[in-house]
Amino acid sequence: MSARGLLVAAPRSGSGKTTVTLALMRALRRLGLRIRGAKCGPDYIDPAFHWAATGEPSFNLDSFAMPPALLDGLASASAAQADLVLAEGSMGLFDGVRAAESRSGANADIAARYGWPVVLVIDVSGAAQSAAAVALGCRVYDPRVTIAGVILNKVASPRHRRLVEAGMEKAGLRVFGAFPREAGLVLPERHLGLVQAGETADLAARLEKLADMAEAGLDLTALMEAAGGSVPAGAERSIVPPPGQRIAIAQDEAFSFLYPHMERGWREAGAELVPFSPLADEAPPEACDCCWLPGGYPELHAGRIAAAQHFLEGTRAFARTRPVHGECGGYMVLGESLEDAEGAIHPMLGLLPVATSYRRRKLHLGYRVARLAEDGTLGRRGACLIGHEFHYASVTSEAPDEASALARIADAEGTDLGFMGHRLGHVSGSFFHLIAAGE
């Protein structure tokens, strides 16, 4: 028997989904339940907070980027090892790309696929009865999805709550409880989202405070009773093959954005993942046969990276004989230079002909479908890979051509975006975060 599930979603970003999800996770764990988290869409930060709150790993579930076998396999792995799966949405409940039904990347696809009832988090600041009209719209918009009820967030006063609840009653929507407007509950953020779980000061204390509020303000029994749905048992998992047998993976405050399902999948395929820290001036371990530099925040640590001579020299030596690949932030460090927010230009590894700037900020965001230009660390020439791009860095050097590019890419709707990334010798990289193999 697989565990039942709930999906915590909202009509829009910024409604408090993460706060409510973490509060629920921690409060239910206090009751002795084994809770597994999941994150809808391409988010590599929130799963670490789920793990901190539950003590269990959390996977991404992405209806656009993941083929059905991988999607069901990850959901099945979570549901088979839990009393309850609590999935957290991203953006708004129905926000996704224009694609085939059930493959849009929207939270609603996941709720519909597994029959998980949705708990809507409604930010009621600046509204009262009108908040019910928004929630009612969510209930009727997509008949595939069941809205179990709502949790009110940012309630200003008892009178405010009574007015909002009157609207919800009129709309026939169940209220599971409310959180007051309290700035102290806000988790710290930076330009790519929440400050990472490992960097958040007093995270354990914050989680306990959230659990206290969930116990005081939410009907936990009713929420558990509202859970439902099921996941196909024993679903097959399909992953991108590991890039090596012993993979040196950069892991610290500057390099941390590697999807949990990728790590787990590589280990299950027999690979060994060996962490090292560039910020601690560590080089890739010599015993490894491949080096992977994930995304992260190198733009915040560019001076330290430029001064880490053992890391720089060791990585250059490693790259002479073995593959080195960088994603997003890792790609920036593989390049010739990185300009920080203050305009200081720091020399990087110089292994790829690219220069980047965080001072010249521009948002790059969206799914990417890539076709590899040549055989390499990620696969054979012409192989299709699906991933995501999310960064504010600008490239200040010349764009790659077909002879030097890693891949040719398109967006989720098939629009050709030209060539992406670089490859030179054993080294490759791009702003593309790999999620799964395509068809």
Q: Which two tokens stand for residue 205?
A: 């204390």
**Active-site entry in 40, 288, 290, 328:** 328
Distances (CA, A) of 297 to 126, 190, 258, 305: 35, 10, 13, 11
291 part of the active site: no
Report the C-alpha gap between 397 and 334 in whole angstroms: 14
HSE (CB half, 13 Å, CA atoms) of 174?
14
Residue 88 and residue 18 in contact, taking contact as beta carbons nearer than 8 Å: yes
* Phi, psi angle pair for 414, to nearest 5°: 90, 5
For 72, the token pair is: 């069901």
Edge to edge, the sheet with strand 35-40 lists: 59-61, 35-40, 84-88, 4-9, 118-123, 147-155, 175-180
**Alpha helix (H) ranges present in 31-95?**
46-54, 68-79
Tokens of 225: 């009773």
Packing angle of the helix pair 203-217, 17-30 (nearest 10 deg)? 80
Closest CA to 152 of 170, 166, 137: 166
**Per-residue tokens: 179:** 């959180």
Stated length of the chain: 439
Contacts 24+ apart (CB under 8 A), 370-376: 370/406, 370/407, 370/408, 370/409, 370/420, 370/430, 370/432, 371/407, 371/408, 371/409, 372/406, 372/407, 373/402, 373/405, 373/406, 373/407, 373/408, 373/419, 373/423, 374/423, 376/323, 376/406, 376/423, 376/428
**CB count, 10 Å around CB of 286?**
10
The two structure tokens encoding residue 366: 């969206």
Strand pairing of 84-88 and 4-9? Answer: parallel
User: Cα–Cα distance between 370 and 368 in angstroms, integer?
Assistant: 6
The residues pairing with 40 across neighbouring beta strands, listed in sequence order, are: 61
| φ/ψ (deg, to 5) at 105 | 85, 0
CA distances from residue 208 to 20, 54, 179 in whole angstroms, order as listed = 13, 12, 15
Supply the residues annotated as catalytic. 328
